[in-house]
Chains A and B, each alone.
Chain A
């Protein structure tokens, strides 16, 4: 077991997009310790989509934050494949609450990561506009976040992460405040987009259907401190149909795992 947490980049020809070994996180507060996560170990192949399913408070956000480097894990190792041309991997993170900047228009929010990279103005405009188009937010380019519905804010936050063309995309319940229909539409968009890009995706949710629709692999976490209780490969042909028998089989089977978690508690 690796004692000291360390971050390193996987070798270039390695086909592993993300490899996490023995990750463990304990929050130390004045009121005591909260054992929030793990240990968990897993890996995602480059360009793959992995989904973590788990009940509330089981450490899903903690897991994503540790991978993104926002939280220092107590033990374990995180390896992220480097950028195709050898540089630092670009990590996109969609926060559970969106975290859009309220003093900037939606356009300026999307432009932010491009400005950071000092990309020229015309290219920025072009990229932001095509991303807004894809997310069906074009008519809200000059609106401020508070003028958008919760679901639109989530979409804008997703757009802001995608516009940086990340190598690894981490998403914390990105569809949680969307109604079923919009959520499905957006999931379809995202699937299309991910197929084209070679982005490795890790997202967490407690919506089983979302997981089965989007992910290539699903991992179920148990109650806090989250540990892996089940790994499932979703072997469904493209395009995925929510009405197919095999889709429903996955749903039912994962639902059963979830129910047993509740009865264990």
Chain B
């Protein structure tokens, strides 16, 4: 089996579902649920303007860029904090209660608060680019409050994964590094970080999955008028279920792509650790 071949078994059940879907809605019948052809037709015209909210591609891009920003921020802060908490007992004492209390607070629950704090500011306002205001520009869609809750959603799995990675470094390897003359900094850089990598990647994978769920939910809330989550809500209100289903397909597809992508990035480090004997 080739590279594609290994995904074939996993497609069996989705294919059955599509066949069933076709059987109950296809053949030009007038059903509440749109037929697969209608949904596919939406998917095949990604640049067409839909229900005057912009195209499917535009909505996807807005959501993607929001996630990219929030997730990058989460990784940029989560990994160093996790490394610090994993390596230093006093940092752990200082921060772990805070992390444990903050972690269960759903990011969505924080959206209103976050919008109050950041006063619905967007990137174009932040950078003083007021003239962009009436143009169609990505920077207009980057609300700081939204980026903040994405950061919130993504950062905890990343912190916890990184701590786990640092804490599970094998004692034998630390001792070997010490015997070979390495000081704490050298050991951290060349022993602790590389052996923590598989867990860091695992945390990143969970983190981006969370971000993707948070953004869709956040965009469905009132007060938002862009992104793929908004497209779902709006098309539902206008009873355009074909657009709604097409959006759902895109969300599922991108979610899988994210986690597969990070998985393959982390694979090399994982392979080395799992094959150790």
Question: Closest residue to A112 on the B side, CB-wise?
Answer: B180
Which listed residue (B177, B179, B190, B276) contacts A102, Cβ 8 A? B276
The answer to whether B277 touches A146, judged by C-beta atoms less than 8 angstroms apart, is yes
Q: Which residues of B contact A146 (CB under 8 A)?
A: 272, 275-277
A116 contacts partner chain B, Cβ-Cβ < 8 Å: yes
Of the stretches A92-100, A192-200, A207-215, A246-254, the one at the interface is A92-100
In the bound assembly, the distance between CA atoms of A125 and B178 in angstroms comes to 22
Question: If the complex has contacts A116-B186, A146-B277, are A99 and B172 also in contact, measured as CB distance less than 8 A?
Answer: yes
Considering only residues 222-277 of chain B, those with a C-beta below 8 Å from chain A are 269, 272-273, 275-277
Does B191 count as interface, using CB distance less than 8 angstroms?
yes
Set A92, A101, A103, A113: member contacting B269, Cβ < 8 A = A103
The interface residues of chain B lying within 8 Å CB-to-CB of A91 are 179
Q: Distance in Å from the Cβ of B201 to the closest Cβ of chain A? A: 13
Q: How many residues on the A side are at the interface (Cβ–Cβ under 8 A)?
A: 24
> Given contacts A103-B273, A144-B272, A146-B275, is CB(A95)–CB(B182) below 8 Å?
no
Q: B63: CB under 8 A from chain A?
A: no
Majority DSSP secondary structure for residues of B touching A = helix
| Residues 30-60 of chain A, each 1 if its beta carbon lies under 8 Å from chain B, else 0 | 0000000000000000000000000000000
Given contacts A112-B190, A146-B272, whether A99 and B173 have CB atoms under 8 Å apart is yes
A117 at the interface (CB under 8 A from B): yes
* Residues of chain A contacted by B182 (CB below 8 angstroms): 112, 116
**Contact indicator B181/A117 (Cβ below 8 Å):** yes
Whether B180 contacts A113 by the Cβ 8 Å rule is yes
Contact with A along B174-193 (1 / 0, CB 8 A): 01111111110010001100
Which residue of the partner chain B has the closest CB to A97?
B172
Residues from chain B with a CB closer than 8 A to the CB of A104 are 194
B197's nearest neighbour on chain A, judged by CB, is A103
Does any Cβ of A come within 8 Å of B195's Cβ?
A: yes
Quote the shortest CB–CB distance from A158 to chain B (angstroms): 13
Q: In whole Å, how far is A70's beta carbon from the nearest beta carbon of chain B?
A: 6
Residue A145 is within 8 A (CB to CB) of chain B in the complex: yes
In the complex, A12 Cα to B177 Cα: how many Å? Answer: 28
- Kindly state whether residue A227 has any CB partner on chain B within 8 Å: no
Contact of A70 with B175 in the complex, beta carbons under 8 Å = yes
> Could you list 20 further interchain pairs (A-B, Cβ under 8 angstroms) beyond the known A116-B180, A164-B180?
A70-B175, A70-B178, A70-B179, A92-B179, A93-B176, A95-B172, A95-B175, A99-B173, A99-B176, A101-B176, A103-B195, A103-B197, A103-B273, A112-B177, A112-B180, A115-B190, A116-B186, A146-B272, A146-B276, A160-B180
Chain B residues in the interface with A (C-beta under 8 A): 172-173, 175-183, 186, 190-191, 194-195, 197, 269, 272-273, 275-277
